[in-house]
Amino acid sequence: MMIDPAILLQAYSIGVFPMADDRDAAEVYWVEPKQRAILPLDGFHLSRSLAKTIRRDPFRVTANRAFPDLLALCAQPAPDRPSTWINREIESAYRHLHAIGYAHSVEVWEGEELVGGLYGVALGRAFFGESMVSRRTDASKVALAWLVARLRFGGFTLLDCQFMTDHLHSMGAVEISQRDYLQLLGAAVGDAALGAGAGAVGSGSGAAAELAFAPLAGRADAGSPFAPNVTVSGPLSGHAIVQLLTQMS
C-alpha cells in the first residue's frame, strides 16, 4: 500500500522521513535522526578538480526529465551498495510525489545513457535530499553541485542530507543537533507542506522550487544570494554552474 502523500509531506515538515531495511522489505519505518547532516548552501566545497570537471561539460545535466528512471537507478544494487533502503512502497510513494509536484530529480547523462543523479523533496525553501547515484566518475558530485547552484538561485535556505557520509563531508556538509535542525526547518518550510488546508495536499513544492528546477530565465529570487545581480536564461553550462557556486552575495 502506498504511503499517503499528505502524511509523507507532514512528516517532512516535522523532520521525519521513511526508510526500509532493503529493496525487498515489506515494511516501511519512520526515521528522526538525533544528529542531522545538512549542506549549508553558502558552504558548498567546490574543489579545483571538480570545478575543472564541471567546466569541461563531460555530462549533460537535466532536471525532472526522467524522475522514474533516476529513482529506479538509485534503487538498483551496485558493487559499493549491494542493497538499498528504497523498497517498492517507497518507490511508488516518491513517483506519486513527483507527479503532484513535490519530488524533484537531477539527472546526469553521458550521451543518451543515464549515469547518475539525485532526487529529493522540496517544501517551501527546504530541499530534502533522498538518494544519489553515480555510474561514472564524478557523476553524483556534478549532480550535487548543479543542485546547490540551482537551490541558491531559487532562494532556498536548507539542504537536508539526512545522514553524514565521507562523500558529503568532503563537499561541505556538517552535522547539527536535532534542535538546531528543527529551527532551520521551521523557518524554511513555514506552512508549505499542506497548501490546501489540513489533510489536503497543495499544488506543488512552491515558487522557490519552480524557479530552481524550471529552465532558468530571468533574475534570481529576491531571497537568493545572487539577487539582484544575476540573470540567467536557457540551459546552464558548466561554466555557469561554477560561476553560480563561486559568486559571493
Mean pLDDT (whole number) for 102-130:
96
Cell numbers given for 148: 546547490
Find the helix or strand (DSSP H, E) in which 242 lies: helix 238-246
Which sequence spans correspond to the domains of the chain?
5-246
DSSP for 14-83 reads TT-EEE-SSTT-S--EEE--SEEEE--TT-----HHHHHHHHH--SEEEESSSHHHHHHHHHS-BTTBS-
Q: Determine whether domain 5-246 maps to CATH 3.40.50.300.
A: no
Mean pLDDT (whole number) for 165-178:
96
pLDDT of 118:
97
pLDDT > 60? residue 2: yes
Mean pLDDT score of the chain: 86
Mean pLDDT (whole number) for 152-181:
95
**How far apart are alpha carbons 205 and 102 in whole angstroms?**
5
pLDDT per residue as tens digits for the range 222-234: 555 444 344 444 4
Q: How confident is the model at residue 210 (pLDDT cuts 50, 70, 90)?
A: confident
pLDDT of 249:
38
**How far apart are alpha carbons 243 and 216 in whole angstroms?**
14
**Listed residue (148, 157, 160, 152) closest to 249, CA to CA:** 152
**How far apart are alpha carbons 187 and 184 in whole angstroms?**
5
Tell me how far the alpha carbon of residue 16 is from its chain's centroid: 16
Mean pLDDT (whole number) for 122-142:
96
**How far apart are alpha carbons 183 and 203 in whole angstroms?**
25
Contact between 143 and 127 under an 8 Å Cβ cutoff? The reply is: no
pLDDT per residue as tens digits for the range 21-38: 999 898 999 999 999 999
**How far apart are alpha carbons 118 and 42 in whole angstroms?**
20
pLDDT > 60? residue 203: no
Terminal-to-terminal C-alpha distance of the chain: 46
Mean pLDDT (whole number) for 37-64:
94
